[in-house]
Amino acid sequence: MAKRPPSPASPAAENELLGQLTTLNAIKSSLLLKALAVWTEKKGARRMPARDDMTPRAMAPFLRNTALVKVIDGGREYQFRVVGDAVTQVQGESYQGLTLTEVDKKLPGYGALLRPVHDVVVARAEPLAFSGHIRRSPTGRMFFHETVILPLGSGDAVDHFLVVVEHVFESGVEPRDT
């Protein structure tokens, strides 16, 4: 069994642009709870399910809220393989087919913001959950979200992961001071 690299101390959890790192037990979204239940069922006794286990049929209830991200060269790069329309709505455009480096060219700093979180998912090979009010989204609109990132792969090696997000756009809400 391959030894995992040490886990980074923090996946940029304090960055207000991503929200706050939370526990899986704190998830309130029924959509995310369904995604987590499917992921758990598909992994069985393994550490995580394989990419092929997470079929569109299995993910049907949350597919439009999902991005499938491919891990390239052990985490040196990440590529958005499939992006659901609810995720595209939040991002303001589809990043399907783009790497984080290419995303950074389109929206400077956004790919760099996501990279440390992706690195943590690959290093830990465990789900991560975030939630919070996003004040400065790529679309410029404020919204509340809950997000779960679910690793996929074999053994301890993460080769893909799912980002499942439920969001609610807010109107007339002033950003909070932090």
User: What does the H/E/C string look like for 143-174?
Assistant: EEEEEEEEEEEECCEEEEEEEEEEEEECCCCC
C-beta separation of 144 from 120 below 8 A:
no
Secondary structure of 59-119 in the HEC alphabet?
CCCCHHHEEEEEEEHHHCEEEEEEECHHHHHHHCCCCCCCEHHHHHHHCCCHHHHHHHHHH
**Ranges of residues in the chain whose predicted pLDDT is under 70:** 1-18, 133-143, 169-178
User: Does any domain span residue 6?
Assistant: no
Q: State the pLDDT at residue 139.
A: 57
Tokens of 74: 């052990």
User: Does any domain span residue 63?
Assistant: yes
User: Does any domain span residue 178?
Assistant: no
Strands across the sheet with 143-154, in order? 20-22, 128-134, 143-154, 157-169, 66-72, 77-83
Q: State the pLDDT at residue 13.
A: 37
- Tell me the pLDDT of the chain averaged across its residues: 82
pLDDT in tens, 9-36: 344 433 445 678 888 999 999 999 999 9
C-beta separation of 38 from 48 below 8 A:
no
User: Does any domain span residue 12?
Assistant: no
User: Does any domain span residue 90?
Assistant: yes
pLDDT above 90 as % of the chain? 56
Sole residue written with tokens 């399910």 = 49
Q: State the pLDDT at residue 69.
A: 97
User: Does any domain span residue 7?
Assistant: no
Q: State the pLDDT at residue 177.
A: 33
How many domains in the chain? 1
Q: State the pLDDT at residue 145.
A: 76
Query: 40 exposed, middle or buried (CB, 10 Å; 0-12, 13-18, 19+)?
Result: middle
- 42/138 Cα distance (integer angstroms): 33
User: Does any domain span residue 77?
Assistant: yes
Q: Which amino acid is at 145?
A: H
Looking at residue 25, the DSSP 8-state letter turns out to be G
CATH of the domain at 149: 3.30.450.20
Domain of 65 in residue numbering reads as 20-169
User: Does any domain span residue 61?
Assistant: yes
Q: Which amino acid is at 114?
A: L
